[in-house]
Amino acid sequence: MATYEPWSVVVVPFPFVDRRQTKRRPAVVLSPERFQAEHQCSVLAMITDARNPRWPSDVPIRDLTAAGLPLASVFRCKVFTLDSRLILSRIGTLSSTDRKAAGRALRAAIVR
């Protein structure tokens, strides 16, 4: 089973709340590779189009090229766990600057 470095940008099937369909969407890997290997699942955070209604904790992704994203996008503190076998591909990684900003947003959102 493949594992991904933390902060990798991957493509996953996102379910729609109001439909049975899924759509391919980017997400950021948050879990260490060891966790992924031991549990066969990955902890991920959502990436969404910057045109969507904003959440107060959204973080604009500045380096779209490094992240492998074609459109203006934001890191969203919408965290979920997914069976790692459902990860479709790796398209990039968050830059150091984007990692720091996303990390700050996560620390503000999660109990330490």
**CATH code where residue 66 lies:** 2.30.30.110
**pLDDT (mean) for 86-112:** 96
Is the residue at 1 inside a domain? no
Neighbours of 45 (CB within 10 A): 19
Find the domain containing 103 and state its range: 8-109
**Structural domains in the chain (count):** 1
Is the residue at 3 inside a domain? no
Whether the predicted pLDDT of 33 surpasses 90: yes
Q: Give the CA count within 13 Å in the CB-facing half-sphere of 85.
A: 2
Contacts made by residues 83-88, CB under 8 angstroms, sequence distance 24+: 83/40, 83/41, 84/1, 84/2, 84/3, 84/36, 84/40, 84/41, 84/42, 85/1, 85/40, 86/12, 86/13, 87/2, 87/4, 87/10, 87/11, 87/12, 87/42, 88/10, 88/11, 88/12, 88/13, 88/24
Is the residue at 66 inside a domain? yes
Tell me the pLDDT tens digit for each residue of 49-80: 989 899 999 999 999 999 999 999 999 999 99
Local structure of 60: helix, strand or coil: strand
Phi, psi for 69 (deg, rounded to 5): -105, 135
Is the residue at 2 inside a domain? no
- Yes or no: say if 14 and 94 are a contact pair by the CB < 8 Å rule: no
**pLDDT (mean) for 21-49:** 96
